[in-house]
Amino acid sequence: MAASEDDEKEEEELRQRFMAPPVSGLRELRRRRRELRSRMELLIMETQGEVCRALAALDPGATFAVDTWERKEGGGGISCVLQDGEVFEKAGVNVSVVFGLLSEEAARQMRSRGKSLKAKDGKLPFCAMGVSSVIHPKNPHVPTMHFNYRYFEIEEADGTKQWWFGGGTDLTPTYLNEEDAVHFHKTLKEACDKHDLKLYPKYKKWCDDYFYIKHRDERRGIGGIFFDDVDSPSKEEVFQFVKSCAKAVVPCYIPIVKKHCHDSFTPEEKLWQQLRRGRYVEFNLVYDRGTKFGLLTPGSRIESILMSLPLTARWEYMHTPPESSKEAEILEVLRNPKDWVH
């Protein structure tokens, strides 16, 4: 087979794995396939496709709306959203690849995390790309799941480039199922352990600390892994770690959905789910770093940034669950995170 035929076959295979054509163009990505930026874009596109196909298989009556968008300042993205299915109330999987000049507010946010960014005439060229997802099921016995894997690059005044990766996967159940919690955490631990045995405990603690709703004195969920600003030991090694984590998303979550999506539930259990969703909204709008960065970046697509919010949520004045109830049980774990794998 001629080389051009091989190329065409490979391009067609990639197209079938993606939800839409990549932001940078398939030919351009293949031409620059050895560059990490291209490999990361291919990874986030493949992850989006894998997750969307796995979710759609569980909710065959529903379909993902695929929305391709452009950012006039540079780049664009692909938003895939399923709403009002039988299994999922709302499931979104977004890819964004954006570049241009970093806004003053975004630069200030990064400097507050210890980044020393030397701008040229006040300008900082940047490139950011990532895949992010939030899945809100209908059944209160199926947990909400979030994941995000991203790469950031900034060019400083002297031409040097700062780069780092961030990401994580975390679970937010309405009711505690210890078997599910162990499965979720063990799957993520296995992905981390392929690279360094110290990563899972370090990133598990970071996740518990990051998803802390300070004004409620509780975590958003039962955690998982979270990391940010990771720029060592080497670009290739961190990329391979991120790839392992992205590949763990489907096996850590989909078996839990399959197990519980047909469980029966009461109106009271549905009400508790709505109250817990209120906490989810509070964290995302008050504390979440990615939401803040998106809202501070000129030309950002607000619909995609706020895709993480559920269709429905509820706030009740002074709601306190009865002692020794299933609702009180999950609150105890949210206030005092557990070790799920030892």
Which residues are known catalytic residues? 146
| In contact, 219 and 212? CB cutoff 8 Å | yes
Which parts of 28-187 are beta strand (E)?
65-70, 75-83, 88-101, 125-137, 144-155, 161-172
What distance, in Å, lies between the first and last C-alpha atoms of the chain? 53
Q: Which residue's entry shows tokens 């794998």?
A: 341
The answer to whether the beta carbons of residues 270 and 146 sit under 8 Å apart is: no
Nearest to 81 by CA among 309, 312, 290: 309
Place of tokens 């051009």: 4
Which H or E run contains 230? strand 223-230
The pair of structure tokens assigned to 106 is 């975004």
169 φ, ψ (degrees, to nearest 5): -140, 130
